[in-house]
Structure 1
Amino acid sequence: MECKFKNSNIIVIAITFILLMGFIFFDNLNSKAVIIVFLSIFLLIVCTRFFYTGCMINILLLIYLPFMLIQDNMLINKDQTFTLIFILCTLFLASIFDFLILAYHINNNDNKLNCDVTSILNKPFFKILCIFFLYLSILFSVIDSFALLYTHLSNIFNEGIIGKDEIFSHLDALYFSTTTFFTIGFGDICPSEYSEITKRLVIIQAMISHIITTVLWPVAIIFVFGKSTKKIFTFNDKN
């Protein structure tokens, strides 16, 4: 059966790409925070209807995020830290929901959900491979983005993370972010004693990491390899 785009689908995709370009090219951080809210909403709609389009936009956003943080004047102002944290949390939580939506549709094919792909790419193997790369993108973005924030906060009085050596590098922050993400916690690097923002940031990362490692992937496996997961979300009318 030949797929046909509805005008509403074209409008949703067009708005999503416009918001994506706005988020990438806008310099003002407050504008980015507003855009990311609307972009997350439209991405949820796109992911329910267009598998590969939603997956690729999520991957692009997640890979771009750490590079956004190292742009000029992005991490200088301490007052912008909370806006950055808001953008991070919104994007990561939206990507988690998108990931679950995409995983659910792998095992529950619907013709209207696959109008933007060819018959070859419609096979489950390619879709599983695609969300696997999305999962890796989530890991990379969470670990590196928080590491950049830890590095930034370490240059602020009574903030950041400390270790045995006073000289601190991005590699140390990346190491701390990785051990925090996977709940290893060697204890050789920790938040500064009087830090407030850093400790809150560690709590946020730990919560996001817990959702990703203990909830996201197991649920996705159930969706992909479980027996017709549509039965979980539909009522049986038979007595």
Structure 2
Amino acid sequence: MYRSPVSTCSECLIYNIGNIYLSIYLSIYLSIYLSIYLSVMFDPALWKVGIGQEHLHIRGKKQRDVKISKIILHPSFALLDDVEPVGDMNSTALNNRFDIALDIEQSLTCGMAGWGIDKIGSYGPFLRAIQGNIISRENCSQVYNISFEENILCFGNGYPGPCKGDSGSPVTCEKNGQYYIIGIVSWGVEQCGLEGYPTILTRIGSYLDWIQQTMNGKEE
């Protein structure tokens, strides 16, 4: 793993933590490097949340930095359970309210914002955003020739779409003046912006019970 100033998981910015090399070729040392990697990635002291940030190098008037006191993983965290809430943040720093959508309507226009690379493969200083609709799982399954579970949503038609570095970015939908967080970017085709291939999201509504228990301090 190489050092990067930006992590787009839920649009967080990471502190400088130095260089850590994780080699998949030297299997004899893999477990050692993996333990170091995990201890760094899940140490809340090394992370902060930048709320209202739109530029990496220019601090906006509405920007707030929030410290993390605890990072909680889903018990079955994997590609199919691609969710990792960060809890115990100072709620006074949260200016805008977002609710979690229970029912997803395909007619809703939704938006996604992230710090990933652009079409020429460069990381820019600006937070980029796109709009798109929710695609039915049936249509999405036909495109990818995969049977998607209910904890998956499909967003947009691929162009424009997220790219490398946008995984973990939130997707929000507006209905009657209220914004709802409905999913987080999980994966897509390797070629960014390939029209006809929706972005795959983790459906937050599938984890509402666990999220509520976790925020209430009842996680297992």
TM over 0.5: no
TM-score grouping bracket, smaller chain normalisation:
under 0.3
TM-score by length of 2: 0.23
* TM-score (normalised: structure 1): 0.22
Please state which structure has a larger fraction of its residues in helix. Answer: 1
Whichever of the two has the greater Rg, that structure is 1
Q: Indicate the structure whose relative CO is greater, using CA pairs within 8 Å and at least 6 residues apart.
A: 1
Higher strand fraction: Structure 1 or Structure 2? 2
